[in-house]
Amino acid sequence: MIVQKDAQTFQKIADLIRELRAPGGCPWDREQTLPKIAPMLLEEVHEVLEALDQGNHEDLADELGDVIWDVVFIAVIAEDEQLFTLEDVLRRLAEKIIRRHPHVWGDEKTVDREKIRELYEVVKQKDYGHKRKSPFDGIVKTLPALSRALKTVKKAEKAALPVPLDSALEEMTKDWDASKWGEFLFQASVVARRQQVDLEQALRTYTEKYIYEHANN
């Protein structure tokens, strides 16, 4: 459970943001809107990932703070626009976490990993089943193209949908390690650039085409 000191510090962050956006506060902070702050959050998340990748714990602490600031900032903007409150965000998060861990806080006590996964999927289906009509619903469209393609393949295989497979490529790469795959993708980027093809957009377009053709199967 969160300790009192943590709660007080979190409350201080929210109070600072509200003060900055109040009359007499900071003009820049007062001018921020949900669309304006979205790119800033994305940049801060990438900086967290970089710190994690480098194992730089000092930078990680700073970058996590920046992400928390932006997340709370977004919630306060929504509060100002009477969309929802920061309390709503935290309450819904706590309820979801408790709901998705019935093996900890519910009646389904178990330490079996497969059973835990099944319980999680059941609760997740209850949460999103009425919203998601396609197997691909829930895949974030703004993900990098390769991440989105991989998630699409995973969802397609889970739904037993046909996934295009180049058997010649599979045979050629069967003994490749991560380094060889990295070289292959880098070389593909070089060739695509010389041919004036945006690989990111090309993969995004192909993935969208696949999803469109299989969304309701």
At 143, is the pLDDT very low, low, confident or very high (cuts 50, 70, 90)?
A: confident
Structure token digits, residue 216: 């309701």
**Residue 1 resides in a domain:** no
Mean per-residue pLDDT over the chain, rounded: 90
pTM for the complete prediction?
0.72
Is 67 in the same domain as 113? Answer: no
Is 210 in the same domain as 164? Answer: yes
What is the distance between the alpha carbons of residues 112 and 109, in angstroms, rounded to a whole number?
9
Give the model's pLDDT for residue 106: 84
**Residue 134 resides in a domain:** no
**Section 137-151 average pLDDT:** 89
Give the model's pLDDT for residue 124: 79
Is 14 in the same domain as 77? Answer: yes
Give the model's pLDDT for residue 2: 52
**Section 95-111 average pLDDT:** 88
pLDDT tens digits along 149-200: 999 999 899 889 999 999 999 999 999 999 999 999 999 999 999 999 999 9
What is the distance between the alpha carbons of residues 117 and 101, in angstroms, rounded to a whole number?
10
**Section 63-73 average pLDDT:** 96
Q: Could you list the residue range(s) of the whole structural domain that residue 209 is in?
A: 145-214
b/e burial code for range 184-193 (CB count within 10 A of at least 16 → b): eeeeeeeeee
Q: For the chain, how many structural domains are there in total? A: 3
- How buried is residue 14: exposed, middle or buried, by Cβ count under 10 Å (0-12/13-18/19+)? middle
**Residue 66 resides in a domain:** yes
Q: Give the residue carrying structure tokens 């409150």.
A: 85
Check whether 93 has a pLDDT greater than 60: yes
At 107, is the pLDDT very low, low, confident or very high (cuts 50, 70, 90)?
A: confident
